[in-house]
Structure 1
Amino acid sequence: MPNMSPQDVWGQVVKALRLEIGEGPFSSYLEQARVRVGEDGDLFLVTPTAYARDWVDRNALRRINELWLALDEERRSLKARARAEYEAENPNAIETGTTPLVAQPTVAVVAADGPRAVRAAGLQERLTFDTFVSGKGNEFALTIARQVASWSEGPFNPVFFCGPYGYGKTHLLNAIAWEAQRLRPDARVVYLTAERFLSAFLRALKDKSIVAFKDELRSADLLLLDDVHFFAGKQSTQEELFHTLTALIEDGRRVVLAGDRPPSALTDFEPRLRSHLAAGLTCPVEPADRALRLAVVEKKLAALEGMKLVAGPARPELLSHLVDRTPGSIRELEGGLNTLAAAAGQRMSNLTVEEAQAYLSAGYRPTERRITVDEIQKVTADYYGLKQADLLSARRTRQVARPRQVAMYLCKQLTTRSYPDIGRRMGGRDHTTVLHGVRRIEALILEDEQIARDVEALTRKLRG
């Protein structure tokens, strides 16, 4: 049997790592990492920023190499590098396991001892209908998703799933992609996040390959586009999306989208695009109630048992404690269970609530102490050498505007306040201003190491 390529080894490592550390940390620090071969044949795990590299060094590199060495017959290990330092050290090296951006969206099917799906960039193998847990808040959305995936004729096009972050929209879009491709291997199914759509669009403009970009999307039989709220304020991208949707729908192709609010609330979108998005079926995905959250934990635990990571079912009171202690999204809940499984392992079935509390307090810390908008404003202003009144003022200089956006981002991450509520408390600003600020900081965290360090330091300070 030939040795596995670095790409294949990394694919196997990713599967285990995503389960172990949780979806949130994985998507934040490792989703964009790539394995590269240096000029001397050394292997490197390359992250977009030094901030992400530092996190990997502190929290994940040792475990990554344990998983890697168990699979790599050449017994090589990985070194973590930020992209800039890797390219400076290895100016003539090649990257392994990547393809051009425009070519990545397609979910292809090839024959190899029978049909098998090829994992597309951003499409996760574990997010299928079989692993989706249904309940009161998502039953309707699940029914519609299955209907779309079955290629059945219906009057609703496009379908727009909307709801808060972390409650299953991305899972549904992934499940639709896998099932639709399974039922029609000859069909062209394209899944994209809005961020990847934007990146590919901008690169196509720069490279003068916009025709190829348009053909890539408009030849899809089924287009699935996630996080469309990311397009707020991006006029040229909205125009391209409008024409793409028009072309697909007029040709009878299927379109499925997801965003954090319904089309009618996308006030920073062009009216004609907003109208287009609302013309089909708007399908809400509601926050999970306690029963659904408990069912999610039980199913996740069963999966961990099947992988031999834990032995036997956990005590019911332990699962209830985890559900009640973690009031955030389903992803946060799964992260808490991953922490317990990693810490307790085969002792999971005998773990007491008190022991679980100790593990969670040490390794996973959902916000128990209520952090207020006022507190975030004060701490952020002090950190940047400003007065709290500066953040609330009408001043738009960079010295004040960027800290204000950081405060908005922290308010959205660390409190349960809505965009309109945050806007009112940030000097009476419109919710679209808050949305723009939050999205701007989300982007800068990946691009600007100083902003990333600022956000991390402020988050630690606020959480104590």
Structure 2
Amino acid sequence: MTSSAPAVSVWGKACLALRRELGEADFGSWLAQAALREGPDGAPVLVTPTGVARDWIRRNAWRRISELWAQNDPEGRRLDLKSKMEFEVAGGAPLPSHPHVIETAEPVSSDVPQVSPPTAGPAARPARNSGLQERFNFDTFVPGPANEFAHAVGKRVASWADGHFNPVVFHGPYGFGKTHLLNAMAWEAMRNAPDKKVIYLTAERFLSTFVRAVMDRQTAAFKEELRAADLLLIDDVHFIGGKQSSQEELFHTLTALMEDGRRVVFSADRPPSALTEVDARLRSHLSAGLVCGLEPADRTLRLGILERKLDTLGRQAGFAASARPEVLQFLADRFTDSVRELEGALNTLLARAGEDIRTVSLDEAQNILRPHLRGAEKRVTVDDIQKAVAEHYSLRQADLLSERRNRAIARPRQAAMWLAKQLTTRSLPDIGRRFGGRDHTTVIHAVRRIEELKADDPVLTRDLETLTRKLRG
């Protein structure tokens, strides 16, 4: 294949149909982890992570996949199916999104070093850019107040600008965009300087490759490869906590690269100071550079992510995708904990509705996503909300029920009523009764007032999102 885009587009269209026909459970279990790759003869290959997944697909879905591929591929190419191990044995290579990603100066090894006696020839090298995903780039990264500093830092590092901090550590919980950012930096850095050596690895891959190198007595090759990097990116570095020898190797690699003025970037689920299971020397080095946190996406950013994702999915499927504003607002307000959960909800909606997503009503969207909502829903009571709001604003719960109307109490009371309307199934009269016997019109006024203030008061918006995440657990 001369370009990966048409093949990826064909596979994207097939996936939309397969999600609808197989159902979310089967698709997620067997097909979601499969990846389109280029075989040694240039033909497209669907690669599964395991032989078990390959066999299931062959028995239950391969005929339909072949039909969908034939229907959507204008070039009439034949799609093959292999497990990851079969693909590597056959000599297949990752399908690049840009020609320069395939480096020709020296061979790129498979995911782990090849097992061979030390005297059999040149030592095998650890994988370069193992796990790098084409869809995670700066074009698809939506910046906003929660991540704009991290985005700016990532762009600066990837531009090879002088005066960089070293190392750079991005931290935040699962689903906050760390992997997307590191992938984007790798792609951008390679685009800006094709002659420089960029290595991206997950910490898990670093660990498994290092262990294999030790077993095969090829640690020298492992060190040589990593320490020749102009930019080394390690994702989820917290994973190596407690692995003493691997931590030791990473520490010496980090030291060597920094002494040579090379760039090093890590991501973790916590700031370095909180990685108590990581060796103190390594933790100290991680803390010595630029530590940059990624905050939870606010509502505006979540809406931006949904719009960008919807546009991308639509283009992959060959149609202009749009959705009703109230549907996107529902997704942005309901899936607040993780960008991955937010995108997953949109994927499900699009898989079920296809091109008809533009006409899906709010009620229809809620019905489609009901299994996701049930799985993630924690039952929240009005009492829970009152206690959380009182604690957040340093008040007593009794203050929220009292007749006092000074702003220091009235505004938190209105916020609590708004949260009760959003997070519980209680009627407006019932909510009013639980706030000191107030009328339902008072609750309506409170809800409208908070909606008005949210548009211009970022502090209030952050307070409400913090309380929502806390209450939903």
Pick the TM interval, shorter chain.
Answer: 0.5 to 0.7
1:197 match = 206
Q: CA RMSD in A?
A: 4.1
1:299 match = 308
Q: Which runs of 5+ in 1 are unaligned?
A: 38-42, 88-92, 100-105, 112-118, 373-464
1:48 match = 50
- CA–CA separation in structure 2 for the residues paired with 1:220 and 1:82: 27
User: Kindly tell me: are residues 194 and 147 of structure 1, through their superposed partners in 2, closer, same or farther at Cα, counting changes over 3 Å?
Assistant: same
2:272 match = 263
CA contact (8 A) 2:30 2:56 kept: no
1:95 match = 90
TM-score (norm: length of structure 1)? 0.63
2:171 match = 162
CA contact (8 A) 2:236 2:268 kept: yes
Larger radius of gyration: 2
CA contact (8 A) 1:161 1:259 kept: yes
- CA–CA separation in structure 1 for the residues paired with 2:261 and 2:30: 36
TM-score (norm: length of structure 2)? 0.62
Amino acid at match of 2:243: K
- CA–CA separation in structure 2 for the residues paired with 1:361 and 1:15: 25
Shift, 1:336, TM fit:
1.1
CA contact (8 A) 2:324 2:358 kept: yes
User: Kindly tell me: are residues 336 and 127 of structure 1, through their superposed partners in 2, closer, same or farther at Cα, counting changes over 3 Å?
Assistant: same
Shift, 1:204, TM fit:
1.2
- CA–CA separation in structure 1 for the residues paired with 2:288 and 2:147: 21
Shift, 1:158, TM fit:
0.2
Shift, 1:308, TM fit:
4.8
Shift, 1:49, TM fit:
6.2
1:144 match = 153
Q: Which runs of 5+ in 2 are unaligned?
A: 40-44, 95-99, 106-127, 381-473
- CA–CA separation in structure 2 for the residues paired with 1:326 and 1:129: 23
1:447 match = none
2:248 match = 239
- CA–CA separation in structure 1 for the residues paired with 2:256 and 2:16: 39
CA contact (8 A) 1:162 1:260 kept: yes
CA contact (8 A) 1:134 1:142 kept: yes
User: Kindly tell me: are residues 30 and 151 of structure 1, through their superposed partners in 2, closer, same or farther at Cα, counting changes over 3 Å?
Assistant: same
- Corresponding position: 1:350 with 2:350: no
The worse-fitting range, judged by mean Cα deviation, of 235-244 and 180-189 is 180-189
Which deviations, in whole Å up to 9, do the C-alpha atoms of 1:189-230 show, x marking residues without a partner? 111111111121112112222111111110010111101111
- CA–CA separation in structure 2 for the residues paired with 1:75 and 1:63: 16
> Where do 1:15-30 residues align within 5 Å?
none
> Where do 1:324-335 residues align within 5 Å?
324-335=333-344
Shift, 1:177, TM fit:
1.1
285, 292, 307: which one aligns with 2:294: 285
Percent of residue pairs identical:
52
SS at match of 2:369: helix
Which deviations, in whole Å up to 9, do the C-alpha atoms of 1:368-410 show, x marking residues without a partner? 43289xxxxxxxxxxxxxxxxxxxxxxxxxxxxxxxxxxxxxx
The worse-fitting range, judged by mean Cα deviation, of 214-223 and 176-185 is 176-185
User: Kindly tell me: are residues 359 and 161 of structure 1, through their superposed partners in 2, closer, same or farther at Cα, counting changes over 3 Å?
Assistant: same
CA contact (8 A) 1:158 1:279 kept: yes
1:369 match = 377
User: Kindly tell me: are residues 36 and 251 of structure 1, through their superposed partners in 2, closer, same or farther at Cα, counting changes over 3 Å?
Assistant: closer
Shift, 1:244, TM fit:
0.5
Amino acid at match of 2:205: R
User: Kindly tell me: are residues 220 and 75 of structure 1, through their superposed partners in 2, closer, same or farther at Cα, counting changes over 3 Å?
Assistant: closer
2:398 match = none
2:322 match = 313
- CA–CA separation in structure 2 for the residues paired with 1:207 and 1:323: 49
User: Kindly tell me: are residues 232 and 59 of structure 1, through their superposed partners in 2, closer, same or farther at Cα, counting changes over 3 Å?
Assistant: farther
1:430 match = none
User: Kindly tell me: are residues 218 and 79 of structure 1, through their superposed partners in 2, closer, same or farther at Cα, counting changes over 3 Å?
Assistant: closer
